[in-house]
Amino acid sequence: MQQKIIILDFGSQTTQLIGRRVRELDTFCEILPYNKFPQDDPDVIGVILSGSPYSVHDKEAFKVDLSQFVGKYPVLGICYGAQFISFANGGKVEQTGTREYGRANLEQIDLENPLFKGFEKGSQVWMSHGDTITAIPQDCHVIASTADVEFAAYASSKNPLWAVQFHPEVFHTSQGTLLLKNFVVDICKSRQEWSPASFVESTVKDLKAQLGTDRVVLGLSGGVDSSVCATLLNKAIGKNLTCIFVDHGMLRKNEFQKVMDAYAGLGLNVIGVDASEKFFKDLEGVSDPEKKRKIIGRDFVEVFNAEAKKITDAKWLAQGTIYPDRIESLSITGMTIKSHHNVGGLPKEMKLQLCEPLKWLFKDEVRRVGYQLNMPERLIKRHPFPGPGLAVRILGDITREKVRILQDADDIYIENMHEYTMPDGSSLYDHVWQAGTVLLSTIRSVGVMGDERTYEHPVALRAVTSQDAMTADWAHLPYDFMAKVSNEIINKVKGVNRVCYDISSKPPSTIEWE
């Protein structure tokens, strides 16, 4: 039996963050649409209701039959979840005229209640709602209040049910992790058996049973997800795994060979395909970002298929799909469901079955599994890199010369980031979620080098901090680092005479420029 917490998603942007916090407590969880509660699942030990962009009074608001789980399992409602529980059970939820958003402090706390065990009076929480609860159900009692919110938290006297109008999953709620631990571990009685070691052990066992002696093909990208997936499969089935690594010519400088060497060190059976000529030819004269992406995606599938068909006895296609890719995430209209990505375009005659060993993992868990598998740290800590590669970091059309300029500039930037030591002894690279260089090839700027006037391209450096890439802030890089990188790029990279730094956050900007 694998214990699990069910998180019902009512469309909140932080639902995945709730899941990650639960996983950090070494407890397995599943995020499901609000109306897909699993009936008669013996592994369920508790239920969490997420927030939502809706008001409970909206015609489109998501509503669920609470009798499916209230009274049967411990239940925690968060924000909208708390308001919906109250609304559905005779309480009142009203518009206050002012939105309660931002930091607040719990001035009144029932420290005897198990949900708040170990809390400090005045503990900071994060509010984010337009409506507020003005009356709670008859069988409930208040267990926490702020200066402005009387029913910041309440609990039922009849059922194991708790509700909070703040977000314990976000960083700004100072004891949010403690609250979730109190619920998951103490109230739901989690045995905390979900760990990288247990995942590797059980997954390798399951893969051996699932795949037997069948041949499996896997498309490698050089990123952490596909690399961990390959290493896990290699541990389970060894040489029956064939990996295909396609070089479209727009990887980072010398990356194709570096990644191939890293994979060889892991003992993987990898076929490296240099298809750069095809990609450059098909991209010639194309400037539109969406067209560039589609051409690269189409060409990748064609090249991958051509190689995969050579493995005539292959029965499985493995993918490094991770949990956030698969979660059915509701849009704010409630009409759009985001399905998990898949490798499209495989010929039907191949009849490959899909194998996704990482499909239950979040990104940080993938990295923890990589460490458990003793993979090289540099491969595990690699920043996210777009599938189309440098093609979407070159504004305008793609040429080999532009790629060469960007590769050289980017290599200086990233390698200096690896070499720069922060006060805690780690590298600057490890303090950044994602970094990259953008070539503004549609622009030329005037410069002076020696006694000569230059008319060359500027590059923009991009570095962001983030937890999950849904939102991101520009990284405040040290000035001495930026000065060294700028000087080195301008002096060493022919074709560049100006270096800029992008200080835009997401939103409103995206991490990539295209």
**pLDDT > 70 in the chain, percent:** 93
Q: What is the largest CA-CA distance in the chain?
A: 84
pLDDT tens for 446-467 read 877 766 777 789 999 999 998 7
Peptide linkage before 508 cis (omega within 30 of 0):
yes
pLDDT at 337: 31
Exposure b/e, 110-120, CB count within 10 A at least 16 = b: beebebbeebe
Residue 67 three-state SS? helix
Residue 442: both structure tokens together: 């549609």
pLDDT, tens only, 118-140: 999 999 999 887 789 999 999 99
β-pair partners for 145? 108
pLDDT digits (tens, 9 = 90+) for 304-348: 989 988 998 899 999 988 887 776 444 433 433 333 333 344 445
Length of the chain: 514
pLDDT digits (tens, 9 = 90+) for 93-105: 988 765 567 889 9
Spatial neighbors of 205 by CB under 8 A, at least 6 apart, are: none
Q: Does the pLDDT at position 210 exceed 90? A: yes
Residue 445: count other Cβ atoms within 10 Å of its Cβ: 14
153-156 and 75-78 beta bridge pairing: unpaired
The average confidence (pLDDT) of the chain is: 90
86, pLDDT greater than 90: yes
The reported pLDDT for the residue numbered 329 is 41
Distances (CA, A) of 167 to 4, 119, 120, 282, 357: 21, 15, 17, 48, 31
Q: Provide the residue type at 120 as one letter.
A: E
Over range 485-493, report the average pLDDT.
Answer: 96
CB 501 within 8 A of CB 482: yes
pLDDT above 90 coverage of the chain, percent: 70
Q: What is the model's pTM?
A: 0.78
Residue 192 CB contacts under 8 Å (≥ 6 apart), including other chains: 25, 26, 27, 185
Q: Is the pLDDT of residue 40 over 90?
A: no
Instruction: Give yes or no for a cis peptide into 507 (omega within 30° of 0).
Output: yes
**What does the pLDDT read at residue 468?**
64
- The alpha-carbon radius of gyration of the chain (Å, integer) is 26
Paired residues of 76 in beta bridges: 48, 162
Q: Tell me 182's DSSP state.
A: I
Is the pLDDT reported for residue 445 higher than 50?
yes
Query: What digits encode the pLDDT tens for the residues 225-265?
Result: 999 999 999 999 999 999 999 999 999 999 999 889 988 88
pLDDT band at 278 (very low <50, low <70, confident <90, very high): very high
Q: Which two tokens stand for residue 355?
A: 């194998």
Q: Would the pLDDT of 268 be above 50?
A: yes
Place of tokens 């194309």: 286
Which residues are designated catalytic? 79, 167, 169
Give the pLDDT of residue 378. 83
